[in-house]
Amino acid sequence: MTNPRWIALQVILQVVDVGRSLDEIFNSDWYRSLVLDKRDLALSRELVFGFCRWYFALSALLSGRLQKPLRARDRDIEVILILGLYQLLVMSTEPHAAVNETVKLALAQKKAWAKGLVNALLRGVVRDKIELDSNMSLNAYPDWVLARIRRDWGEQAEQVLIQGNARPPMTLRVDTRHAEIGAVINELSAAGIDASRHVRIESALELSSPCDVTQIPGFAQGVMSVQDAAAQIAAPLLGCGSHARVLDACAAPGGKTAHLLQHYENIKLDALDSSESRMHRLHQNLRRIDKAARVLIGDAASPETWFDGNNYDCILVDVPCSASGVMRRHPDIKLLRRESDIMPLLAHQRKILDVLWRLLNPGGRMLYCTCSIFKDENENQISKFLERHADCVEIELNDVDWGELRPHGRQILTGSDNMDGFFYGLLTKSGGK
């Protein structure tokens, strides 16, 4: 079928039943084989992202209006009902159309018995003039995420939660060595794309509305790349010298790899990641910007499988994390991430840091970063690392105007200057000249 609502339903069922990420699904052969015009594709993705973004709030609303819980085998009907609620309450779809199209989904799933339930429940929501209130917006997260954010950020938590449920901007990174920002803005405008300078990050342009990358002048030639402004901080902050030997650990899909190669001349860069499939996109990025790096497949915590014995002058460590800072951009994280994932992630981050520290030359710099807003993954992780390594000195990030200074490192909270949530901690190894 090419019905955009039916396709949205099938995508969501792969997330909730199989545990697949949206990135994985959207890059699958099945999804790429679908025949949808741009309007239907946009509607399908709107429904998918909206379902994930609002699931916990709409699920609570649904539970309160069901006379009895749905059976486990009727998970598809739960998804269908929430899609209907999303269209009514968030998209403001005309009620008759929203109800009828949602009923059709139940019939397409060969569950004619649910026709009356779907019809009655959605019409009841319209009749009772139900609206999404601020409470629903704040509670559109799993309970454990709410608890951590409120524990970590206190009075700031409410704003973090609101921003984490907002739609993210599409942000471009300009290769400022080969293009002038003002000229790029004019070129984009001529192509019908409205862009403005980011308030903090010199290389970043924020689009007023998302567009297909194929429409962006200079994208195919590597002059522009899609990258959140917070992620654009990494390459300049690392501070590589000429001819430095550099490791980009956990490098896929290669956004920071590309930035490093475009920002510094004559560095010798190793791009490492454990995922061979994700490295496909890194190779694409390298070809697009016409730069070379040595690409290594391996676990950053197990250098015996990839390290050649030559230490590095600079190491970028963008560790696997909860991704709690990018839930606005990847709302399926709310459904896929579990609280039980956090302790293993912390242990893996700790091991990667300790192992890679041994591969850093004296006087070298290591930049630790995450797309997380959880303190345990960020400032607390750095604090414990400093306790374990007497030869480690933290470089305080006092002379920048992004994020907020923490006891260790610097934290960007989700939505701050319209950026994703990110953490940076910059370290150097004593003993250098």
Where in the chain are the domains?
Answer: 4-138, 171-226, 233-429
CA distance 324 to 331: 10
DSSP type of residue 413: P
CA separation (Å) from 318 to 194, 210, 243? Answer: 31, 26, 22
Question: Which amino acid, residue 285?
Answer: N
Binning the chain into helix, strand and coil, the percentages to the nearest 5 are 50, 15, 35
Query: Is the pLDDT confidence value at 432 over 70?
Result: no
Query: Is the pLDDT confidence value at 213 over 60?
Result: yes
Note the pTM of the prediction, 2 decimals: 0.95
CATH class of domain segment(s) 4-138: mainly alpha
* pLDDT at residue number 24: 93
- Supply the residues annotated as catalytic: 371
CA–centroid distance for 133 within its chain:
26
What's the whole-number mean pLDDT along residues 228-248? 97
Query: Is the pLDDT confidence value at 2 over 90?
Result: no
* pLDDT at residue number 138: 85
Query: Is the pLDDT confidence value at 356 over 80?
Result: yes
Residues 6+ apart with CB under 8 A from 62: 78, 81, 82, 85, 121
CATH class of domain segment(s) 171-226: alpha beta
Residues 6+ apart with CB under 8 A from 156: 413
* CATH level 3 topology of 233-429: Rossmann fold (3.40.50)
pLDDT tens by residue, 79-136 = 999 999 999 999 999 999 999 999 999 999 999 999 999 999 999 999 999 998 877 7
Give the full edge-to-edge strand order of the sheet including 195-197.
195-197, 204-207, 171-174, 224-226
Strand 392-395 vs strand 422-429: parallel, antiparallel, or unpaired? antiparallel
Task: Quote the tokens at residue 145.
Answer: 């995420």
CA distance 11 to 404: 38
